[in-house]
Amino acid sequence: MSDDQEQGDESVDELQQHGINVQDITKLKSAGICTILAVAQSTRKNLLKIKAKVEKLKPPTFATAAEISIKRENVCFITTGSKAVDAILGGGIQTQSITEVYGEFRTGKTQLCHTMCVTTQLPMDMGGASGKVAYIDTEGTFRPDRVKAIADRFGVDAKTVAE
């Protein structure tokens, strides 16, 4: 079983192998529930509303400390672009977790997020994670020109970073 399958990202079509009929799978898809993880996260009330019979599914399994420890070996830290801030954070922003940034107006929250757009894509030997970035802008503050300037600071191609 792959890591994606362990996380429940496989299609609800796979439920047919577990005794769920095609009509119920179609009802799930029509309601926008397309992965097994989405089924597991749906409330019983919501599943009853769409009349999909998925009671046959086993509840999610628990992970042992040893299993979690193995997954934690893949955690790395991404530089914020500031050695002082990285030191305060214990090495930078930790991967495989959610980091909340909050503070008063004009304290650098957006600047930090723009910087993370670049540093996340850096190679690991430069403090990055060789990763991709999804920026969810709820306040309309994302500025591609700032990301370009930060890319220039780190000596990486701004067009590649923007993609």
pLDDT beneath 70: ranges in the chain: 1-9, 52, 55-61
- At 2 the pLDDT is 47
Burial group, residue 122, by CB count within 10 angstroms (0-12, 13-18, 19+): buried
- Contact by Cβ (8 Å): 13, 36: no
* Residue keyed to tokens 């893949």: 74
| Domain boundary assignment for the chain | 3-49, 77-162
* Residue keyed to tokens 């994302």: 142
- Full-model pTM: 0.62
Q: For residues 63 and 59, what is the distance between their CA atoms, to the nearest angstrom?
A: 13
Q: Which helix (H) or strand (E) holds 67?
A: helix 65-72
Hey, what amino acid is at 150? Answer: I
Tell me how far CA of residue 31 lies from CA of 35, 51, 68, in angstroms.
12, 10, 33
- At 61 the pLDDT is 67
Fold type of domain 77-162: Rossmann fold (3.40.50)
Q: For residues 106 and 59, what is the distance between their CA atoms, to the nearest angstrom?
A: 45
- At 17 the pLDDT is 77
Q: For residues 25 and 51, what is the distance between their CA atoms, to the nearest angstrom?
A: 11
In 24-81, where do the E strands start and end?
Answer: 77-78
- At 13 the pLDDT is 84
